[in-house]
Amino acid sequence: MPLVVNGTAVIMNKKNIPTLGVASSIGGPSDSCARAPAVLQSSAFSSLLSVELEWQPLLEVCSKNKNSLDMLHKQSRVISQFSQQQFDDNKSFLILGGDHSIAVGTWAGIMNQMPASSSFALVWIDAHMDAHTFESSPSGNIHGMPVSVLLGEAGHELQACFPTERYLDGRDIYLFGVRSYEAEELFLLSKKKVNVFDTTRIEKGGGTQKVLKQIIQTISRCYDYFAISLDLDAIDPEDAPGVETRTEKGLSAENLLAVFNQIDFGENFIGLEIAEFDPQQDRQQKTEKLVYQIINSIYK
């Protein structure tokens, strides 16, 4: 309960969340996606938070050479150092992109630092499977490939950008909200036994609130650590229009927030990554506001 002074609620000792903004669009077609962290850092919607974001210096990545493996490698090393340090300090962190290629660095840092005996689950909320390789991708954009990298299945050149020698077991990745993918991705994820909850499976299971809540609650009991990587295009474009790759008929923002608000994210929740906010595509700052609502619902 907040302290009340002269009729005004005062929040004492706000929790600090180490936060890294990655101004990068190397992995996708939109240059304006790189503007997202700066827009969020100066956003008036930060007033919605009941926690303090402890912003690190913005990581600005030159995006002139799209899908540059050299830039991806450098970007991933810096991000991995940040997530690795927060895990070592036992601090739950926040990383804000930029396109979803940032995940190559975020979760490499965790794999580097986590004891070999520990169990870790990653909830990947996304409209897409992000499990392409350069051989299978129709576009060649690396923001559609990070899951294949996390699994160690991306091919030698792309895999060399992953700054760790450890990979995630497919059974410890939970894809949620999927509704747009190619056959090659489905084949890879099936082979690796990744847990895939597409929109059809979610509806048959009782909807977002029931299914996602069950997933997160089960994971929080069964794993030593867990985290969330959220691509905003998982959300219906009516609720989140400001994304790089819109896909119709997504998750309801109201249902997603309801789940996060109902769950007690305990000490084994180690971090949140939010990617693919494109301020240029936003309408009436709906997506910008939603990002802060999501942060607050998890770090309440």
| Distance of alpha carbon 160 from alpha carbon 90, whole angstroms | 28
Question: Which residue has 């936060």 as its token pair?
Answer: 19
How far, CA to CA in Å, does 230 sit from each of 42, 175, 235, 248? Answer: 21, 10, 10, 17
Nearest to 293 by CA among 243, 265, 254, 267: 254
Q: What pLDDT score does 63 carry? A: 84
pTM for this structure?
0.94
State the pLDDT at residue 193: 98
Whether 122 and 299 have beta carbons less than 8 Å apart is answered as: no
Is residue 150 within 8 A of residue 173, CB to CB? The reply is: yes
The H-or-E segment that residue 77 falls in is helix 69-88
CB 118 within 8 A of CB 169: no
Please report, for the chain, the start and end positions of each structural domain, with discontinuous segments joined by +: 19-298
CATH of the structural domain 19-298, one choice from 3.40.50.2300, 3.40.50.720, 3.40.800.10, 3.40.190.10: 3.40.800.10
Q: What is the C-alpha radius of gyration for the chain, rounded to an integer number of angstroms?
A: 18
DSSP per-residue string spanning 183-230: HHHHHHHHHTT-EEEEHHHHHHTT-HHHHHHHHHHHHHHH-SEEEEEE
Side chain identity at residue 64, one-letter code: K
286 closest CA partner among 248, 237, 251: 237
pLDDT string in tens for the chain (300-residue length) = 444 444 544 445 679 999 999 999 999 999 999 999 999 999 999 999 999 999 999 999 998 899 999 999 999 999 999 999 999 999 999 999 999 999 999 999 999 999 999 999 999 999 999 999 999 999 999 999 999 999 999 999 999 999 999 999 999 999 999 999 999 999 999 999 999 999 999 999 999 999 999 999 999 999 999 999 999 999 999 999 999 999 999 999 999 999 999 999 999 999 999 999 999 999 999 999 999 999 999 999
70's CB contacts (< 8 A; 6+ apart) are none
C-beta separation of 281 from 242 below 8 A: yes
